[in-house]
Amino acid sequence: MTRTIWFLTGNSGKLREATHHLLPLGYEVRQLILKEGEIIEPQVDTLEEVAQSKIAQALLHIPDGQQSQDMIMVEDAGLFIDALNGFPGVYSSYILDTIGCNGIVRLLEHLQSEDTVQCAQLRSAQFQAVAALWMDGQILYGNGTCPGWIALESSGEDGFGFDPVFTPNDLDAFGEPLPPGTYGEKSAHGKTFGSISIEEKQAYSHRSRALNDLLRQLPSA
Ligand code: ITT
């Protein structure tokens, strides 16, 4: 039986990626859109706290409320740059809206090297995602991380958000990320997420990993 997942998000890029991931597994993903003022993004310290607060708010808005057979999902992500002690992290949306991808590149302008491995190390960063799923009265959490580095300049038309400035680390034969600058079985060959397809991004992405972590916890998975 196909179950419906109401995904509370205003971000069409996230919706597209989650649908791409979950539809083939038999989940119908529908966007839950709340009007401005109906949802508050709390300024808290962790992605998990943001996700938990949004689930509680979303529950007030789905058909049949707490009795629903449907599931509710939220997913919060952020870009954590090592040289900036994890900034912008939970402030990623605000930073994208204010200084944007070019602002991030400018912040790291002083961190460069002719040596590509050293350059990737100096500019290392990771996307982190927490996906939270409400089903049958309980909340499950899934975590995903994607390590990589911030490119020297913005590139690519695909993807969304910080995709044009983020290059993922290579993956080993088991699909696990390797340290920056290490060659692996799978490589984006220095391309940013903005320059690769949604299918290719899926192999590396924090979102895919967080969703897989969630699905592993579902009784039917
Ligand atoms: P919601 O409505 O679902 O909260 P959002 O756009 O606010 O969507 P997040 O808080 O999860 O998204 O993400 C924080 C920022 O990080 C936001 O500006 C996103 O565009 C960006 N971001 C998240 N995942 C990303 C990804 O896979 N690639 C590039 N940027 C991403």
List, in order of start, the domains of the chain with CATH numbers.
Answer: 3-215 (3.90.950.10)
pLDDT value of position 41? 80
Reference 70, options 9, 24, 3; nearest CA is 3
pLDDT in tens, 180-190: 888 999 999 99
What DSSP state is assigned to residue 46? S
How many angstroms does the Cα of residue 118 sit away from the middle of ligand 1?
28
pLDDT value of position 47? 87
pLDDT value of position 151? 97
What DSSP state is assigned to residue 72? E
pLDDT value of position 119? 94
Reference 52, options 34, 27, 78, 72; nearest CA is 72
Dist. CA 113–CA 164, nearest whole Å: 20
Q: Which alpha helices (DSSP H) does the chain contain, by range?
A: 12-22, 47-59, 92-98, 100-107, 116-122, 198-204, 206-215
Determine whether the shortest distance from the Cβ of 209 to ligand 1 is under 6 A: no
Of the residues 45, 70, 76, 163, only one is catalytic, namely 76
Determine whether the shortest distance from the Cβ of 141 to ligand 1 is under 6 A: no
Reference 34, options 54, 52, 51; nearest CA is 54
Structure pTM?
A: 0.92
How many angstroms does the Cα of residue 1 sit away from the middle of ligand 1?
31
All residue ranges of the chain with pLDDT < 70 are: 1, 63-68, 219-221
- Partners of 81 in beta bridges: 125
Main-chain phi, psi angles of 95, to 5 degrees: -70, -40
Dist. CA 187–CA 167, nearest whole Å: 10
Dist. CA 191–CA 193, nearest whole Å: 7
- Catalytic residue at 76? yes
Could you give the maximum distance between any two Cα atoms of the chain, in Å? 59
- Which residue has its alpha carbon closest to ligand 1 atom 22? 161
pLDDT value of position 66? 64
pLDDT value of position 221? 43
Instruction: Tell me the residue length of the chain.
Output: 221
Determine whether the shortest distance from the Cβ of 145 to ligand 1 is under 6 A: no
pLDDT value of position 220? 55
- Which residue has its alpha carbon closest to ligand 1 atom 18? 93
Determine whether the shortest distance from the Cβ of 160 to ligand 1 is under 6 A: yes
pLDDT value of position 174? 95
Dist. CA 107–CA 114, nearest whole Å: 19
